[in-house]
Amino acid sequence: MADPYIGEIRMFAGNFAPRGWAFCDGQLLAISEYDALYALFGTIYGGDGRVTFGLPDLRGRVPIHQGTGPGLSIRRIGSRGGSERITLTSNQLPSHDHSFNGDTQEASDASPAGNVIAKGDNVNYLAASAPSGANAFAPTMVGSTGGSQSHSNLMPTLCVNFICSLFGIYPSQT
């Protein structure tokens, strides 16, 4: 395998970072020890820019390319986005209705199966078997449901390590 570029990131299935590489876990490094890498990264990924600079932190993150794709928002190098858990609000759900109908005829059946709710004073009969004048109940009769609990927003994943080359070939811009 060819020598890596300084700052090159690779996936690595091992549970250690090989010599000359470091985990992409946001750790801070000394500028004085890794000045060539600092020249490439600056403080994009953290650090104070005087004594330290940071490596990218890819723990729990999916890397994406910087820039703007057709119809997409701009993505700047070092920016973060997304959330592991999300709670939907009613404004994020598709508009929809739930109808609940009743009948103006007298109730004649005690079983609701295949029937609609009907009027009547006899508590033994709750439904009409042949709707004649079906009327929709007021929208407030069918209330909201849900618990406003967050849910996982993660795609299926397989965890591997990302490592960054601390030494190697300094990349040319031309």
Q: Tell me what the mean pLDDT of segment 135-159 comes to.
A: 72
The CATH number assigned to the domain with range 1-62+161-174 reads 3.90.1340
Q: Is-contact 172 14, C-beta < 8 A? A: no
Residue 84's pLDDT band (boundaries 50, 70, 90)? confident
Q: Is the CA virtual torsion 101, 123, 113, 141 positive or negative?
A: positive
Q: What is the pLDDT of residue 1?
A: 61
Whether 148 shows a pLDDT value over 70: the answer reads yes
Q: What is the pLDDT of residue 137?
A: 56
- Report which secondary-structure segment, H or E, holds 16: none
Which range among 14-18, 82-86, 107-111, 149-153 shows the weakest confidence by mean pLDDT? 107-111
- Looking at every residue in the chain, the average pLDDT score rounds to 84
Q: Is-contact 158 167, C-beta < 8 A? A: no
Q: What is the pLDDT of residue 128?
A: 57
Q: What is the pLDDT of residue 94?
A: 80
Q: What is the pLDDT of residue 151?
A: 83
Q: What is the pLDDT of residue 153?
A: 82
**Whole-Å CA distances, 154 to 47, 61, 82, 111, 134:** 29, 10, 10, 45, 45
Q: What is the pLDDT of residue 51?
A: 99
Provide the strand spans (E) within the chain: 9-12, 21-23, 28-30, 52-54, 85-86, 101-106, 116-119, 127-128, 134-136, 151-152, 161-165
Burial (0-12, 13-18, 19+ Cβ within 10 Å), 156: exposed
Q: Tell me what the mean pLDDT of segment 96-112 comes to.
A: 69
pLDDT in tens, 1-22: 689 999 999 999 999 999 999 9
Q: Tell me what the mean pLDDT of segment 24-43 comes to.
A: 98
Count CB atoms within 10 A of the CB of residue 128.
Answer: 23
Per domain, the residue ranges of the chain are: 1-62+161-174, 101-136
Cα 1 to Cα 92: distance, rounded to the nearest angstrom: 49
